[in-house]
Amino acid sequence: MIRKTPVLISYCIALLFVLSACGGSSPADQAADMSLDGEQTGETEESATQPAAEENAPQLTSTPEEPVAGSVRVSQADGMEQVFVPAGEFIIGWQETDATTEVLPGPFPDFLKHTVTLDSYWMDKVPVTNGQYQRCVQAGACRPCGQNNIPPQGKDYFTESEYASYPVVNVSWYMARDYCEWAGHRLPTEAEWEKAARGTDGRKYPWGNEPYTEDKANICDKHCPPSVRGTIANPNFDDGYPGPSPVGNYPAGASPYGALDMAGNVWEWTSTAAQFYPYDADDGREAEYDKADGEKWPERILRGGPWNNGLIYQRSSFRYRAVAIYWNMNMGFRCASSE
Ligand SMILES: [Ca+2]
Ligand SMILES: [Ca+2]
């Protein structure tokens, strides 16, 4: 069954390229340090001899005494709100048939349904924005994004102030990882991402099992430009945005912990190397990337369907993947923290 997964790998890579009008990657990405150890464990002492990146190094994020599910704190590093997800089991995956296929057999892709137990963690409430990412670039810790014709076209999506609250896109896995490390955080695992999106009860979408309505997420709606449409546009819906939308714009689509834009807006990189289910954090997929074995895990998982794809991709269980050096106008990220 899970041997079919390589088909999905090929399918999704091909799909990414088909759906992308202007995707690409930077050679600089390939030379990036692959370490996933982004935890900040102490205050950074500043001195006149330190480079700009360290002068702008983030402060530790303060944590409430006893957070509960959905507790919110604000990261002092980048101003991002984070929501708390308690430790415990949750249901990962989605199966509507007996087939535990990990390919796309039709309108109801199955991803082996099973139980995973996680420690507690904090998840960014929304995707990282252009404004936040710009601060990291200015600090010398992040590489600038590539440009392309992100709808609405005609303006610089990355630098125009009117897009400061929109999700940053055109970021590779390495660029996303670098930002999270600068912010004193890390990329979430795909299991952490899924639990933050759908809670513990195995629901289909962050808001529950109720059908999508246009107030719940920014998907490929009636205004989705034909040039960037995914395989399944939705001409019956008008969510207000032909391209990306300001982060946190769809509170009706909040997850059980209050995370927003988990469905819709942008795909979101996770730390997880693309590997078969069942999910096992100890089998190497979450291991620190080994530069000496640099091509062993060339692909990483993305979650949380984008503005230019249809409803299937918005399911909280849907696994997407792309090579880590790839970037696209529908791919962004959010960060997480263990403490
Ligand atoms: Ca839309
Ligand atoms: Ca999303």
pTM > 0.95: yes or no: no
CA of 294 to the centre of ligand 1 (A): 37
Q: How confident is the model at residue 37 (pLDDT cuts 50, 70, 90)?
A: very low
CA of 304 to the centre of ligand 2 (A): 4
Which of these ranges, 42-46, 170-174, 246-250, 285-289, has the smallest mean pLDDT? 42-46
CA of 89 to the centre of ligand 1 (A): 33
Q: How confident is the model at residue 31 (pLDDT cuts 50, 70, 90)?
A: very low
Dihedral class, residue 97 (left if φ above 0, else alpha if ψ from -120 to 50, else beta) = beta
Q: How far apart are the first and last CA of the chain?
A: 37
| CA-to-CA separations, 263 to 54, 59, 129, 151, 191, in angstroms, rounded | 34, 30, 16, 19, 15
CA of 335 to the centre of ligand 1 (A): 23
- Estimate the crossing angle of helix 130-138 against helix 173-182, to 10 degrees: 80
Ligand of minimum distance to the alpha carbon of 233:
1
Ligand of minimum distance to the alpha carbon of 225:
1
Ligand of minimum distance to the alpha carbon of 313:
2
CA of 151 to the centre of ligand 1 (A): 10
pLDDT digits (tens, 9 = 90+) for 50-105: 334 444 545 555 666 799 999 999 999 899 999 999 999 999 998 876 555 444 33
Looking at domain 61-339, which of 3.40.50.10440, 3.90.1580.10, 3.50.50.60, 3.40.50.920 is its CATH number?
Answer: 3.90.1580.10
CA of 266 to the centre of ligand 2 (A): 4
pLDDT digits (tens, 9 = 90+) for 270-288: 999 888 889 999 998 888 6
CA of 269 to the centre of ligand 2 (A): 10
Cα–Cα distance measured from residue 289 to residue 30, given in angstroms and rounded to the nearest whole number: 13
Ligand of minimum distance to the alpha carbon of 219:
1
Domain residue spans of the chain: 2-56, 61-339
CA of 129 to the centre of ligand 1 (A): 17
Q: What pLDDT, on a 0 to 100 scale, did the predictor assign at position 93? A: 93
Cα–Cα distance measured from residue 232 to residue 289, given in angstroms and rounded to the nearest whole number: 35
State yes or no: pLDDT of 168 exceeds 90.
yes
Which of these ranges, 62-66, 191-195, 263-267, has the smallest mean pLDDT? 62-66
Which of these ranges, 48-52, 257-261, 279-283, 315-319, has the smallest mean pLDDT? 48-52
State yes or no: pLDDT of 165 exceeds 70.
yes
CA of 243 to the centre of ligand 1 (A): 6
- Beta bridge mates, 155: none
CA of 247 to the centre of ligand 1 (A): 13
Does residue 117 contact residue 88 with C-beta atoms inside 8 Å?
A: yes
Ligand of minimum distance to the alpha carbon of 215:
1
| CA-to-CA separations, 46 to 76, 103, 135, 242, 290, in angstroms, rounded | 17, 50, 18, 44, 30
Amino acid letter for position 151: P
State yes or no: pLDDT of 159 exceeds 60.
yes
Ligand of minimum distance to the alpha carbon of 206:
2
CA of 309 to the centre of ligand 2 (A): 11
Ligand of minimum distance to the alpha carbon of 245:
1
Ligand of minimum distance to the alpha carbon of 303:
2
Ligand of minimum distance to the alpha carbon of 265:
2
